[in-house]
Amino acid sequence: MKKTAFLSNVNIDPLRHRFENAGQYKICFSGYNQWQAEMLDDNSQLNQFCPDYVFIYLNCDEKNFNINDLISAVQSFTVKNPDCRMIISNFLFKPLSVHTYHDRSESENTEMNRKLNQLSADNQQVLIFNFNRLIQLHGYNSIFDNKYWYLGRIKFSNSGFNLLFSELNNFLNSIQGKVKKLLVLDADNTLWGGVAAEDGWQNLQIGNEGIGRIYLDFQSTVIELKKQGVLLALCSKNYIEDVLNVFENNTNMLLKWDDFVSTEVNWQPKSENLLHLAEVLNISTESMVFIDDNALERAIVANEVPGVAVPEFPKEISTLNDWFINEVVYTNFARHSLTNEDFEKTAQYQRNAKRQLAKQTINYDDYLRNLDIRLDIRSADKTSYTRIAQLTQKTNQFNLSLKRYTDIEILNFIERTDYLVYCISYEDKFGNEGIVGCSIVKIENSSAEIDSFMLSCRVLGRKIEFSFMDYIIKSLKNRGIERINLHYCATERNIILKTFLENYGFNTNDNSHYKNY
């Protein structure tokens, strides 16, 4: 199973569940805003995961976002992971600006996308995911929803996530060449309006006028698809003369009889015809797509022919062509200019290019130094207890014990002499994040139990947990504490804490009780 990782500067967790439920990829999600550290740090979750694909969505409206940071991180990561493909979403500023008609963000927007295109041209591991296409097609307001942004740093609406999920699946299929091979088409009321045997070949709706234009556009799209290498077959319940007459005599028809690799015009059940096609053409029924306006025929085929894709037919016939491209072509016949085969062909060229690239990259320590991080660690007091309670309730990833406390309970710990409560504030060149972590320690004579220890996911991947733990241990030692114990509560999401405890030098016999003495 291919491994796909996801990076973002906003919360895209709802996408994780969609991919988990689909079960097609082994997946890895990093907490939001850790994208840069994940790519640069050799020990990060992402680097350990060794992904085949990395999807990156960065929202350029975020204050700290800088395209050059993305470029240098991607260059570094791809040098270290030469088999990984980076799928990077293109950029779009929010189409609302207080600067109204003298807003300059459009040219800035174009410039960012130009840089991204350049990156993709220079580095063959980088593919551009045209997210802006989805926004143009469905509208900004249907994809983005501010409510969940204020509640949980989620930018997209539910339908936005659905669209992103299916588009990304189609995209991943296209670069893996996982596409269908054969398009099986019904004739009456699918390729033309009307019924050949009843209306006569000369009276069908096909041509430049009225409803005929709908079918003309559809046929034209089908011909384009054929030019891209998709095989066509005709499957119609008719006498063959009636159908042949249309192809031979109706000059409005764009599709020709010869466009089809095989024609099944008879009165057999269509399911049998499809099985027959599989045999004649020596292809699997799983690589077929069946288009028919008749719901009963679709149901029988879907039921009897294993693996065949049977899309619904549009209720409103004027949507036929757009429906076909959007729901059938993108889903089943998506192609990418760079498939895996092309990718391998260019591997040689790429290795040389890589050496050049290596000169432009930056390493993780440089990145951290450049952030200009300033920490303030201190004992909690009456100004900080509500924020600390909130952290205990909301932090799921970097959280030792996952104990949840109310503000009253925190206040109580602060006032007790046998408890110590620490908090850590974070600031870097981009701004002040305020209190981003806390720890609660219970003192008993000369030993201490670290009851809680956590950091907000906003600041993970910057090694500040080491400074925080250093401070706590030093402060406890100064109080004459000799033994420090803690209990790690393992869940699916806080494994990074276990890694931290081991890297920090805590000892354990059971992966649950740790000590530092």
Partner 1 sequence: MDTEIKLKEIFAEIFNTNKDKINLKTKQNELKEWDSLGQLRLMMAIEEKFDISFSIEEIAGLTSFEMILNKTEQKTGKTH
Residue 409 within binding range of partner 1, rule CB under 8 A: no
Six token digits for residue 373: 């991080």
For partner 1, the binding residues in 154-173 under the rule CB under 8 A are 154, 157-159, 161
Q: Which two tokens stand for residue 266?
A: 């008879």
The reply on whether position 478 binds partner 1 by CB under 8 A is: no
For partner 1, give the closer residue by CB, 146 or 203.
146
10 in Cβ contact with 94 (< 8 Å): no
Q: Is residue 308 at the binding interface for partner 1, with CB under 8 A as the rule? A: no
Minimum CB separation of residue 57 from partner 1 in Å reads 17
Are 500 and 457 a contacting pair, CB within 8 Å? no
Tokens of 25: 């990829």
Q: Which is nearer to partner 1, 151 or 408 (CB)?
A: 151
For partner 1, the closer of residues 57 and 91 by Cβ is 57
Minimum CB–partner distance for residue 66 and partner 1 (Å): 27
| Best CA proximity match to 125, nearest among 396, 349, 394 | 349
Question: Which residues, at least 6 apart from 58, have a Cβ–Cβ distance to it below 8 Å?
Answer: 8, 9, 35, 65, 70, 89, 91
Asked if 352 interacts with partner 1 (CB under 8 A), we say no
From residue 379, alpha-carbon distances to 398, 413, 417, 423, 468 in Å are 20, 11, 13, 6, 12
Nearest to 339 by CA among 126, 174, 182: 174
Judged by CB under 8 A, does residue 378 bind partner 1? no
23 binds partner 1 (CB under 8 A): no
- Contact status, residue 440 vs residue 420, Cβ threshold 8 Å: yes
Q: Does 82 bind partner 1 (CB under 8 A)?
A: no
Residues 380-399 that bind partner 1 (CB under 8 A): 393-394, 396
State the DSSP code for 84: P
By CB under 8 A, tell whether 351 contacts partner 1: no
Stretch that binds partner 1, among 17-25, 117-125, 379-387, 408-416 (CB under 8 A): 17-25
406 contacts partner 1 (rule: CB under 8 A):
no
- Residue 162 CB, nearest approach to partner 1 (Å): 8
Closer CB to partner 1, 65 or 149, in the complex: 149
What character string, x for contact with partner 1 (CB under 8 A) and - otherwise, covers 126-155? ---------------------xx-xxx-x-
Q: CA–CA separation, 125 vs 39, rounded Å?
A: 14
The residue whose two tokens read 């209306």 is 199
Alpha helices in 28-181 (DSSP H): 35-40, 45-49, 67-80, 105-122, 131-138, 140-143, 146-152, 158-175
In the bound state with partner 1, the residue whose beta carbon lies nearer, of 127 and 389, is 389
Min separation Cβ 392 and partner 1, Å = 12
Size of the site for partner 1 (CB under 8 A): 20
The residues binding partner 1 (CB under 8 A) are 11, 13-14, 17, 20-21, 147-148, 150-152, 154, 157-159, 161, 393-394, 396, 404
